[in-house]
Amino acid sequence: MKSALITGATSRLGEKIARFFARKNYRLILHANRSLDKARLFARELEESGAETHVIAADFTEETSIAKFCGELTGRFGAPEVVVNNASVFEHDFPGRADPEKLAVSLSVHVLAPFMIIEAAAKSKKPEARVTIFNILDHKLLNLNPDYYSYTLGKSALMAMTAMWGRADRPDVRVFGLLPGLMFPSGPQTEARFVADAEKIPTGRATPAEDICAAMEFYLAHPDLPGQMLPIDGGEHLAPRRRDVAFE
């Protein structure tokens, strides 16, 4: 049975991705931190539908916790065939009013954790095995604005990591960067504001989570495609903005 690791797997996009891989009959390895109880309930729900599910807790703001997580992952399951680096911290700050602590957290969660997880998978996999990595990025990396400053710096570094893996001459470790647009209400958005903001997107609607899963399914079905970047945002990155859509 193939395995899929999903970090930040208990809500929003992570939950949708976990359900997708459950339907595809993957063994699920779900990462959680503060929502551990929720993760266990979610795992039990998936198991009742026939999925084999395991939960590993880790605080990705701490290097020792990330290292322990990687050791438990590869020790129990070896290298998963699929890794989805989805865990994220989305807190607002702004140039000139930024907090170094927020930057440190962003770099740990968005850069150090994926860095160590990918390295662990690449080093522990069997010689004949292939690993596919999906790094969840953000469409705003293609159309920068200053909101969520520390978050954006962390995601920018993750995008650079994704690009460098694509040039590392490792066809057995494919690394994709998926750049979703507006998907769920976040930050200061009310539900009504979310609907209004979604209408500003060229397609006139928020990005369905199913589109992210469909992209993963396509890449997994075509193992000869190399790692690459793919915006999945209804053309949102093509609409210039000086501020995040939630603050316009």
Question: What value does the mean pLDDT take over residues 188-216?
Answer: 92
CB atoms within 10 A of CB 207: 23
Beta strand spans in the chain (E): 3-6, 27-32, 53-57, 82-85, 131-136, 173-180, 229-232
**Residues sharing a CB contact under 8 Å with residue 112, sequence separation 6 or more, in sequence order:** 60, 63, 66
Q: Tell me which residue of 161, 66, 147 sits closest to 102, measured CA to CA.
A: 147
Question: What value does the mean pLDDT take over residues 70-98?
Answer: 97
**What is the predicted pLDDT for the residue at 122?**
98
Dihedral sign computed on CA atoms, order 219, 223, 226, 227: positive
Q: Looking at per-residue confidence, does 244 or 156 come out higher?
A: 156
Q: Tell me which residue of 20, 26, 25 sits closest to 4, measured CA to CA.
A: 26
**What is the predicted pLDDT for the residue at 241?**
86
pLDDT at 7 over 90: yes
pLDDT confidence band for 187 (50 / 70 / 90)? confident
122 burial type by CB count under 10 A (0-12 exposed, 13-18 middle, 19+ buried):
middle
**What is the predicted pLDDT for the residue at 34?**
84
Q: Phi then psi for 104, rounded to 5 degrees?
A: -60, -40
Looking up tokens 């551990």, which residue turns up?
36
pLDDT at 160 over 90: yes
CB atoms within 10 A of CB 117: 25
Cα–Cα distances in angstroms (integers) from residue 181 to residues 6, 126, 177, 187, 244, in the given order: 19, 35, 13, 14, 11
**What is the predicted pLDDT for the residue at 131?**
98
Global confidence as pTM: 0.96
**What is the predicted pLDDT for the residue at 52?**
97
Q: What's the CATH number for 3-247?
A: 3.40.50.720
The H or E element that residue 75 is part of is: helix 63-77
Question: What value does the mean pLDDT take over residues 158-180?
Answer: 97
Paired tokens of 49: 């539908």
d(CA 16, CA 212): 9
pLDDT digits (tens, 9 = 90+) for 28-44: 999 999 888 999 999 99
d(CA 12, CA 157): 23
